[in-house]
Chains A and B, each alone.
Chain A
């Protein structure tokens, strides 16, 4: 069954996008990640314009994160004060990101920028995760107990001004690092069409030393609001949010996530992380290949923006 996508301006088979949503939803349910970093490249590979893929995926992430955020809130796993500081940074970063998208589209370099960002981030995160997961697997095989949280060390972060007390996280640190982390994640969210959990969670654990039980809830809280703001700004500035496409992805995604969560329970944490790292690296390699291989067609056509 074909459906005309109003913003992407193309006719698409709805089952392809439902299936794509379900497949990514399955993986995100299994690994407990948002899935934006998989969905946006998939959408671009399937012919959706990069800017529409990024804008639409922001809307889908709102849908897939909101239920998780509410569940975390009920379990009192959200540090609201920390969340607000991250959110203020996040919205500022997202505003900059949306403008950057507009400018890069005008000069025809948006696709390149998205690809390079994906290769960089997926490459770094995938490699780090793979190393960490393999080390954990080796250690647990050796019978040693692995502690997730390292003892608090004093670093340069503790020398910064504007200190705030974050009760829920049991932290007394400067507001500058969470603001910057939030801004960076908001920026990534706007230009890459991701929630940014893959940057936010490690940054909170390793840089801010937020307790792990609060990390997921707080980052989800921030992701819901930042992606919501990003969606609205993309719609306002770039008109690149395709609500029909977003709906298809949401429906597929929530169904896939249910099955993924069940499948995920059958695997160990480090096995899951190793699998996820492998997947991340595969996507990274696929995008890098697209940048390096000689294209069949050197020419491309673009619209002229700004003359509505």
Chain B
């Protein structure tokens, strides 16, 4: 009788034990994925952007980052000479004792629309410098600014930076398919040239100490948009790191819009090119006639 009741006990216990073991093994797996583990697609590590992650194992609520931008819509008008936007945010459940403690690292990235471009290299042909070799990129960010609490390569491992496209070395540049067989060294040289030229135009910017904590949890960063910033949507990404681990991420959008006379002329030129051309000629004729009546003398 007793045997009847005790006999299945080991099987039940074994099953319970196996379930518990599975559970213990699975929990760290899930939580580690939630913290730093990259998803197979190599995308953002935080489970879903802009949502606080699950509580950490030590019981204290995990830190997360929230951010916003001072200007959500920037107007590119005829008097546009560039502007600055401020990206600011807080670390939820901050554990750092003082703003200066360097407990967290924050990186702010402002990313422009990816556009196709061609990079060309001049070669000396018969004494004249001529564009010879060229490489077409399907997609290169038209604008890329990064600001961080300290040099970004000190903040985290290259692998983590690459996965999140943080830093100049990790900017995503998609080479046109028909040219992907170019030698890697050559490709790397073209890549560096694109970054160098974009930097010269102030379209790629890096500020190693551009993010500052002004409270235990509050931080801010100033990003400058030069006059030649390509018009289009911008995305700001704010990343929170601690000890080289990516804890959380937040995304915001900024819209760059042509406005006023500038917008009118640009859409006139591109949407009604023929009318625009005729308008340009009529303007020129009028200007010439006004000038000749004003000065009562032809220049010829």
Residues of A within 8 A of B (CB): 2-4, 6-7, 9-11, 25, 28-29, 32, 59-60, 62-68, 70-72, 108-109, 111-112, 216, 220, 228, 231-237, 239, 241, 243-244, 246-247, 250-251, 254, 257-258, 260-261, 291-295, 297-304, 307-308
Contact = CB atoms under 8 A, between A and B. Distances in A.
A302 B190 CA distance: 13
B291 A67 contact: yes
B118 A108 contact: yes
Contact of A231 (B120, B277, B289): B277
A292 B130 CA distance: 10
Closest 9 CB pairs of A and B: A235-B277, A67-B292, A71-B298, A68-B300, A11-B227, A66-B288, A232-B277, A254-B291, A299-B193
B284 A231 contact: yes
A213 to B, nearest CB: 13
A112 B123 CA distance: 12
B82 A11 contact: yes
Contact of B284 (A10, A62, A220, A298): A62
Interface string B227-239: 1100000000000
B29 interface: no
Name, among A10, A25, A72, A299, the residue most crowded by chain B CB atoms within 10 Å (CB to CB). A299
B277 A301 contact: no
Interface stretch (B16-24, B35-43, B89-97, B263-271): B263-271
A141 to B, nearest CB: 28
12 contacts: A29-B299, A64-B288, A65-B288, A66-B284, A70-B289, A70-B292, A112-B128, A239-B273, A246-B280, A260-B299, A261-B297, A295-B122
Contact of A4 (B227, B277, B300): B227
A250 B78 CA distance: 19
A49 B43 CA distance: 38
Contacts of A233: 277
Interface of B: 76-82, 115-124, 127-131, 134, 136, 190, 193-194, 196-198, 227-228, 262, 265-266, 269-270, 273-274, 276-281, 283-285, 287-289, 291-292, 294-295, 297-300
A241 B130 CA distance: 26
A258 B299 contact: yes
A3 B291 contact: no
Contacts of A307: 116
A292 B79 contact: no
Given A2-B81, A295-B122, A298-B121, A63 B299 contact: no
A29 B115 CA distance: 44
Contacts of B116: 303-304, 307
A67 B136 contact: no
A7 B266 contact: yes
Given A28-B299, A108-B131, A302-B120, A62 B281 contact: yes
Nearest to A11: B227
B87 to A, nearest CB: 23
A67 B279 contact: no
B273 A258 contact: no
Contact of A257 (B194, B289, B299): B299
Contacts of A112: 128, 130-131
Given A247-B283, A300-B119, 18 more contacts: A2-B81, A6-B266, A32-B299, A59-B280, A66-B285, A66-B289, A68-B298, A112-B128, A241-B276, A243-B276, A250-B288, A261-B299, A294-B124, A295-B122, A299-B121, A301-B117, A303-B116, A303-B118
Nearest to B291: A254
A32 B300 contact: yes
A212 B227 CA distance: 50
A67 B289 contact: yes
A111 B128 CA distance: 13
B273 A236 contact: yes
A232 B285 contact: no
Contacts of B300: 32, 68, 71-72, 216, 220
Contacts of B118: 108, 301-304
A293 B128 CA distance: 8
A302 B50 CA distance: 36
A267 to B, nearest CB: 16
B299 A291 contact: no
Contact of A258 (B76, B115, B279, B297): B297
A235 to B, nearest CB: 3
Contacts of A246: 280, 283-284
Nearest to B292: A67
A10 B227 contact: yes
A57 to B, nearest CB: 11
Contacts of A295: 122, 129
A294 B127 CA distance: 9
A239 B266 CA distance: 10
B225 to A, nearest CB: 12
B129 A6 contact: no
A228 B299 CA distance: 19
Given A291-B129, A304-B136, A67 B288 contact: yes
A228 B297 contact: no
A235 B81 contact: no
Nearest to B286: A63
A10 to B, nearest CB: 5
